[in-house]
Structure 1
Amino acid sequence: MTTRIQNERLRRPSGIRTLELGETTVTYIPDGAIQLTPRGWLPDTTDEVWDAHPEYLDGSGNLVGSIGGLLVRHEGRGLLIDAGFGPQTADAVPGNPYGAIRGGALLDNLSLSGWAPQDIEAVAFTHLHTDHIGWAYAAAAGSERPAFEGADYLVSEPEWAQRHLLEDVGTTGKMLAAMAPQVRTITDGQEIFPGVKARFIPGHTAGHVAYVVESGGQRLVAFGDALHSPIQIAHPEWSAVLDHDCAQSADFRRRLVAELQEPDTIGFGVHFADVVFGTVRRDDDDRPSWRPFDA
């Protein structure tokens, strides 16, 4: 991939992208996008950092964050990791660390991938922020019922037990009440689907989870909001402004970056613009960097 093409992909949200891992297929299902103000979202960065890395910023000077879910398919069964922002938009508000947010495309893109909501047996959440639970509580078009009403909602035990903490960042009691009848809590290390295990990585939220997919001698780590931008790969000390515990999240990022450099290990960053799948390798300066796939 040329530098020009890679830079273009850093400034746009992702389309549908698919990888084969042995007998398991993983597909990024887009729902929309969010703008992240660089200094607001990553407050430990400086103007000098972004002056040196304009390739990460779109025409409005913002980081581009994809929003969507990861479809995991195995022997005719389907698991969805995260459920996007849902059928809504939110305008930018001055002073917020994020700009405009738009969702609504996930069900259409799921259909384009050959799947319907009723084919999904479970939705596993990395955490319960609004850009990850949208289609879990919102009614599908022409219905009063949630799109995934037949699926179990898998949430880590500490995330669900401390869900009241999320109201300060927009996840309302009404949203959670709509999800509650389908929620099943999960434990650290639990296998939730063939070849898929939960790994608790608190920090961004109190019960944040990564999901590790293993098949065909390969391993994919869907790390949720442990990282929001590929630029953090070289700087795991940079926490997001909404991280519940910045020190804890930075500690997990350091471990994650080290793990992603191991052989046969792939990362999935749901907010990583149009470079959602990749590996981590050392660059010429011996710093770890994100190497996106062309998938």
Structure 2
Amino acid sequence: MGNSQRNDGVQLQDERLRGEQLRDEQLQDEQIRLRRPAGIRSLQLGDVKVTYVPDGAIRLTPRGWLPATTDDVWAEHAAYLDETGHLVASVGGLLVEHGDRALLIDAGVGPLSVPAEPGNAVGAIEGGALLASLAEIGRDPGSIEAVAFTHLHMDHLGWAHHPAPGTDGPAFTSADYLISEPEWTHRHLAEEHGTSEEMLAALEPRVRTVNDGDEIFPGVRVMLTPGHTAGHAAYVITGGGRRLIAFGDAMHSPVQIGHPEWWATVDHDTEQSTSFRRGLVEEMSRPDTIGYGMHFADVVFGRAVRGAAGEGARWEPVDA
């Protein structure tokens, strides 16, 4: 063998080793991100910019939140659990910007700090950072023209009903509150999950109901997805040849991408929610489709990647 052939062989081996090292580093980074709340992250979809705006985090007990799972399941999926054995669920909003215009999808949990209680599926809750996060990216909350809610659970309503610091009213001084018509009609059901009459009353003067297929902002349409709640809505954002599905609480952890049959303990209709999760995984496996999971730890943007025959899909983070 000549020197050039030996050099080519060494070069190929070095490239393989570098490729393996890169893959190992990417896997390690993803595992770290699965165990921490999300920070500010942005994607550009043509003329539309979407930015995850953090408000805080909730710790979920894995078997309490996903009752169809077992201890053996979590032993196999320990990468999704933090050092306390909880699923880390980010809490925040999705800012959608088109030129000078801005829409916010969901409004965090607000300034709330609740310790974990033994036996509760929801562990510690920490919120309140959303306004500071908006300031960090240079967006005045008063310039947001509408807040669109996926549903009426309290961890999505926070800053829409809670007074902004130093004021008597919410920070979104000019915003309409967009809620699906069936969700608002059945708003009494949200009270079973901590949304008080006072919260709903604070929203009511600004509420404008929307329906399936409505365009609520340039490139943003409503997609009704009942199951988690009676009128749960997703929002489909299209631009630059791609679409992003903001799917709300259809899923709470990327582990459900491979197991859409795992429903959440608070799902209103588990058959409906499971059906939507299955369809959502199919949609997000398309090359032109990205998902946004508000609760998905620090991997809020991603796509579903199909595994080999007999294997479920997995969540692949998308950062650009």
* Same-fold call, TM cutoff 0.5: yes
For 1:267, the equivalent position in structure 2 comes to 291
Q: Answer yes or no: is 1:72 the counterpart of 2:118.
A: no
For residues 76-225 of structure 1, the aligned pairs below 5 Å read 76-225=100-249
Unpaired stretches in structure 2, ≥5 consecutive residues: 1-24
1:40 corresponds in structure 2 to 64
Structure 1: gaps of 5 or more residues: none
- 2:79 equivalent to 1:55: yes
Q: Deviation of residue 89 (structure 1)?
A: 1.2
What is the correspondence of 1:14-25 to structure 2 with a 5 Å cutoff?
A: 14-25=38-49
Match of 1:292 in 2: 317
Identical columns (%): 61
SS at match of 2:145: strand
- What is the match of residue 250 of structure 2? 226
Report the TM-score, using the length of structure 2 for normalisation: 0.91
Shift of 1:149: 2.9
> Structure 2 CA distance, aligned partners of 1:167 and 1:294?
36
The CA RMSD over aligned residues, in Å, is: 0.9
Equivalent residues of 2:89, 2:296 under 8 A apart:
yes
Deviations along 1:244-289, one digit per CA (max 9) or x if unpaired, are 0001100111111101111210000000000000011112454211
Query: Residue 271 of structure 2 aligns with which residue?
Result: 247
Q: Determine the C-alpha separation between the residues in 1 that align with 2:295 and 2:139.
A: 22
1:288 & 1:53 partners in 2: Cα distance? Answer: 14
Q: How many Å apart are 1:93 and its aligned residue? A: 1.7
Which amino acid is 1:84 matched to? G
Aligned length: 295
User: 1:132 offset after TM fit, Å?
Assistant: 0.2
Q: 1:54-105 CA deviation, whole Å, 9 max, x = no partner?
A: 1100011000000000000002100000000001111112221110111100
After TM superposition, the score normalised by the length of structure 1 is 0.98
Shift of 1:41: 0.1
Partner in structure 2 of residue 281 of structure 1? 305
SS at match of 1:71: strand
User: Does the CA contact (< 8 Å) of 2:248 and 2:294 recur in 1?
Assistant: yes
Work out which of the two has the higher radius of gyration on C-alpha atoms and give 1 or 2: 2
Q: Say which structure is richer in helix.
A: 2
